[in-house]
Structure 1
Amino acid sequence: MSERKTAIVTGAGRGIGAAVAARLASDGLAVAVLDLTEESSADTVAAITEAGGTALAVGADVSDEESVTAAIAKVTSDLGAPTVLVNNAGILRDNLLFKMSVGDWDAVMGVHLRGAFLMARGVQEHMVAAKWGRIVNLSSTSALGNRGQSNYSAAKAGMQGFTKTLAIELGKFGVTANAIAPGFIQTDMTKATAERVGMDWEEFVKANAEAIPVKRGGVPEDIAHAASFFASEGAGFVSGQVLYVAGGPRD
């Protein structure tokens, strides 16, 4: 039996990140559940532990270099060298361009792009040493453009270019890098969007589902399935790809 691998999932306190962490744990990985505070990771860790998995709550600000360095050191010490990384942490600061502040732009870029960079740079040495690694970055259908999301769209498009470059640079070390681009997923983040635009949640889901070929909204587990594949042993010849998990085709 091979030694158990260690994964880090960022933004794993809830929503997509929590589902991905739970799925990787059920796949047999030890999972570091990273969120802004250890307390915000507690529910995810408890659920994984109760299901018989191994998980560690880690508090870190992914946009802060020292915080990331400390978090990776803690994971390595307590769980083992991380060779799977899922960059899921993200925030929304939606607004039309003429209303968007520099702070709203910088905050989104900091968490999504700077965060993914710092985490990937921090774990790559462990992957290179192991001659095996899996990096999964969360993009979005918003990367194709979305009204009121110039910051988020730019960040998510950037995640795709970042992913492809990691695939090129790290491939010779046995490390793959892929991106998942979710469409409409039912999470607390999308509930906040519904509230912002003044729509009832059920009506919001129904309206979005109507525009989706499979006629339903996505759930976090839909993304977790894709992450599980990209993180698997069998996906070693799949790298630099962007998978749209959106209930239909995207360009």
Structure 2
Amino acid sequence: MQADLADSDATARLCTELAEQHAFDGVVNNVGLVRAQSLEEVSLSALDEVMRVNLHPAVLTAQAFLPGMKARGWGRIVNISSLTALGAVQRTAYAAAKSALISFSRGWALELATTGITVNTVAPGPTETELFRANNMPGSDGEKRYLSGVPMKRFGRPEEVAAAIAFVLSEDASFMTGQTLHIDGGASIGRA
């Protein structure tokens, strides 16, 4: 099924329809709209757009599937953040939105702590995806800049991020809530 996640009404309708048709044990909120702008260039319209597109679907999705999870006494909510939440140049809006998702996870985890529902965040670093490569060609300054910040000296693979998400969605992660897993080759701890 498809919906334009920038359209809150369409997103809410889709989530409601899905929740009525299926029982969801977990949800992964994975949206990433970036508007790269230096501080001097940040426009409030771009800031609002990035915040809305990155945050509203997470709230609407959690709200739609929460009643079913509560009724079953088990569920998982995983918010996908980013290494940029720790700070990145020209990412004022995006870093703020991804930081907000970490805050959502912590607050929601406290609210839901006794329900059997856990809420966690997975925060990938630079990952070898088509979108990443479209903006950071092999040998480019962007590629070099990103690699210089990763102690393991390589980019993550999508399946490595997916494995972390699968763990957080599993029964094995039942005593973990409100946490952020950085899947970033050590970039979140500093340079080697």
Matched, 1:160 2:131: no
Farther off after superposition, 172-181 or 92-101: 92-101
Kindly state the Cα deviation for residue 101 of structure 1 after the two structures are TM-superposed: 1.8
Tell me: higher relative CO, structure 1 or 2? Use CA pairs within 8 A at least 6 residues apart.
2
Does the CA contact (< 8 Å) of 1:83 and 1:133 recur in 2? yes
* 2:54 counterpart residue number: 112
Gap runs ≥5 in structure 1: 1-57, 195-200
What is the 5 A alignment of 1:90-239?
Answer: 90-194=32-136, 201-204=137-140, 205=143, 207-239=145-177
* 1:245 counterpart residue number: 183
Aligned mates of 2:92, 2:134 — CA distance in 1: 18
Kindly state the Cα deviation for residue 223 of structure 1 after the two structures are TM-superposed: 0.8
Kindly state the Cα deviation for residue 95 of structure 1 after the two structures are TM-superposed: 0.7
Number of aligned positions between the proteins: 187
Kindly state the Cα deviation for residue 62 of structure 1 after the two structures are TM-superposed: 2.9
Kindly state the Cα deviation for residue 113 of structure 1 after the two structures are TM-superposed: 1.4
Runs of 4 or more, structure 1, over 6 Å off, are: none
Does the CA contact (< 8 Å) of 1:62 and 1:116 recur in 2? no
TM-score with structure 1 setting the length: 0.70
Paired residue secondary structure (2:188)? coil
Does the CA contact (< 8 Å) of 2:15 and 2:60 recur in 1? no
* 2:13 counterpart residue number: 70
TM-score with structure 2 setting the length: 0.90
Aligned mates of 2:149, 2:155 — CA distance in 1: 10
Does the CA contact (< 8 Å) of 1:62 and 1:119 recur in 2? no
Aligned mates of 1:163, 1:63 — CA distance in 2: 21
Does the CA contact (< 8 Å) of 1:95 and 1:148 recur in 2? yes
Aligned mates of 2:25, 2:5 — CA distance in 1: 18
Letter of the aligned partner of 1:202 in structure 2?
P
Pick the structure with more strand per residue.
1
Alpha-carbon displacement from aligned partner over 1:76-122 (angstroms, at most 9, x marks no partner): 355x2222110001111111121122221111101111221111122
Aligned mates of 1:212, 1:111 — CA distance in 2: 28
Aligned mates of 1:144, 1:206 — CA distance in 2: 19
Gap runs ≥5 in structure 2: none
Aligned mates of 2:130, 2:39 — CA distance in 1: 24
Letter of the aligned partner of 1:90 in structure 2?
G
Aligned match for 2:28, one of 69, 86, 91 = 86
